[in-house]
Structure 1
Amino acid sequence: MDEQFYRQLFDKHQHVEAVPSNREITAWALQLIRLLFPEQSKQEFNGVDQLKAEFKKLENELCLVMDATKACENCNNEQLSRSVFEQLPLLYQLLNTDIREIFEGDPAARTEFEVIRTYPGFFAISFYRLAHILYKHNVPLLPRILTEYAHSKTGIDIHPAAEIGEYFHIDHGTGIVIGESCIIGKHVKLYQGVTLGALSVAKNMANTKRHPTVEDHVVIYSGATILGGETVIGHHSVIGGNVWLTKSVRPNSTVYHKPALIVLNKNKD
């Protein structure tokens, strides 16, 4: 390799932002979620003040990360970090609705502890909801790092900008894709392999609504694909497995794919 190649890389190394590693950022998020849900942790506290101090430590760490990522060029990252942490009671409340919906909607779930500790759907939702708060505060980079970490662990891909209501239930979950401009209502249940995507991926559509809206009390079964920013799935509808939709569905609808199956018996007897 010639000298110019090395010089080009060296110059790039000198100008890259000093952003903490993805591992450090996701470790911060895991610590925060485990403070909210001690079912995921063995950490013990001797009193409320010690718990408060741990939250304050994580708030300060977020401030340092945002300083490194230039999260806010014209404002105080300390204030921004404080504002994010003021949303934690809301985050906790929302995640508890998700836990309740998953537990009550899955006959296989024995306890809420089991949901919190083992369910990939809850893991992905918890990272999404934390990332969404950061996204709403215009924090760059971190929201995508968090949701892509959850994606890598669970196979569930939720864009941090998506708007998702309370009581959200992901069952199994592997292969689910929820796009950037999706709007999902309350009491929605998604099975594995569901795609809520865009009809077009043209770059000039970046600031438009490209992904569907799913209203309250909708169930979408495995393998369904729903595309388009103008596509609305009306409330209390059921979308069957392997359905492909690019048009809106009225409330209280049932949509299903009708395959033609042929079974041939090779025995002539």
Structure 2
Amino acid sequence: MAHPIYNKNRQKIRKLPDKAETEAWVEHIFQWLFSIGEDYSDADFFTAREAVLKTELEKILNSILTDHETKTVVKDFFNALETIHSWLEADLEAVFNFDPAAKSRSEVLVAYPGFFAIAIYRLAHQLWKSKVPVVPRLISEYVHSKTGIDIHPGAKIGERFFIDHGTGIVIGETTIIGNDVNIYQGVTLGALHVSKAKAEEKRHPTIGNKVIIYANATILGGNTEIGNDAIIGGNVWITNSIPKQSLVYHKSEIVIKNKAPFPEPLNFVI
């Protein structure tokens, strides 16, 4: 009797990038970019580490791209790193300036999951722009598993982006975020309709410049735009555009009663 899940006509799955090697490369390049854990003041050592990182990336990409494609992508990626690094330095400065709990640049680098998520998103986004399959998503999902922050590498995020706390944040593929935006934990920038037929359409919202989005706010839809300088309060649900300089908040009622008139609670154990 044939095995119930065996199909002799099943096509062989093509080789995929190595997950462990990709995750290790993510950690290595983050440390190299910000000179963490080693003495990068030696120019020769710095250059040697760069060569190793290029070789590691080539090995990862060779499983899914031709040799020529791999060399082109790696060259473009490392040529873009100077610009990416300058953006990340601005992101780092934004975190340090905005968060009173941040005591030093080093603390942000090694202890802030929001900054790590932004940094690796910017690297994955560069590979996404080069139309590299699988690897950008593999990178973003590694960061998701490590930080609880889910940023699709296809999203477009402006300068000086700040994520505070971060757990539970979801930023969809076609999201556009302007400059100087602050986002708190639990925020969802998602789609109203999930359909394969509309996969190439803009499904996620556009966030203007200098917008603050507080915890657990949900903003949905490709036609939804949040205007510049708007403040979006916690727990709101938004599916329509919001004008610039608006304040949007969820109104809830808190009732406090005297518990004395109530009978004594029963004691029980489950």
Q: Is the structural similarity TM-score above 0.5?
A: yes
Q: CA deviation at 1:181?
A: 0.3
2:8 & 2:82 partners in 1: Cα distance?
A: 45
Q: Which runs of 4+ in 1 moved over 4 A?
A: 9-12
Matched, 1:67 2:87: no
Distance 1:212 1:244 in 2: 13
Q: Which amino acid aligns with 1:55?
A: E
Question: What is the TM-score when the length of structure 2 is the normalising length?
Answer: 0.91
Distance 1:100 1:264, change over 3 A: same
Query: Which residue does the alignment assign to 1:84?
Result: 77
* CA gap 1:48/1:9 in 2 versus in 1, 3 angstroms: farther
* Aligned equivalents of 2:243, 2:98: Cα separation in 1: 24
Does 1:185 pair with 2:178? yes
Deviation at 1:61, TM superposition (A): 2.1
User: Which residue in the other structure is 1:110 paired with?
Assistant: 103
Q: How does 1:203-222 map to 2 (within 5 A)?
A: 203-222=196-215
Amino acid at match of 1:155: G
CA distance in 2, matches of 1:182, 1:29: 23
Structure 1: runs of 5+ lacking an equivalent: none
Q: Alpha-carbon deviation of 1:9?
A: 8.2
**Per-residue deviation, 1:198:** 0.5
Q: Which residue of 2 aligns with 1:174?
A: 167
Per-residue CA deviations over 1:61-81 (Å, capped at 9, x if unaligned) read 2122212112x58x4321221
Mapped contact 2:17–2:61 kept (Cα < 8 A)? no
State the identity %.
44
Q: CA deviation at 1:256?
A: 0.4
Query: Counterpart in 2 of 1:37?
Result: 34
Q: Does the CA contact (< 8 Å) of 1:60 and 1:81 recur in 2? A: no
Shift of residue 264 of structure 1?
2.0
2:46 to 47, 51, 54: 51
Change (3 A) 1:48 1:226: same
| In 2: Cα distance, 1:225 partner to 1:141 partner | 27
Higher helix share: 1
Report the residue type matching 2:230 in the other structure.
Answer: S
Matched, 1:19 2:10: no
Which of 136, 149, 155 is the aligned partner of 2:129? 136
Secondary structure at 1:68 match in 2: coil
Whichever residue aligns with residue 233 of structure 2, its letter is G
Q: CA deviation at 1:109?
A: 0.7
How far the C-alpha of 1:126 sits from its partner, in A, is 1.1
* SS of corresponding position for 1:76: helix
1:94-143 deviation line (CA, Å, top 9, x unaligned)? 11111111111111111111011100101111111110000001111110
- SS of the residue 1:38 aligns to: coil
> Unaligned regions of 5+ residues in structure 2, if any?
262-270
Amino acid at match of 2:51: K
Deviation at 1:240, TM superposition (A): 0.3
Distance 2:129 2:152 in 1: 12
RMSD: 2.0
CA distance in 2 between counterparts of 1:10 and 1:202 reads: 29
Is 1:248 the counterpart of 2:230? The answer is: no
Aligned to 2:265: none
Give the C-alpha shift of residue 26 in structure 1. 1.2
**Residue type of the partner of 1:196?**
L
Aligned residues: 262
CA drift at 1:50: 2.4
2:267 corresponds to: none
The CA distance in 1 between the partners of 2:108 and 2:145, in whole Å, is 19
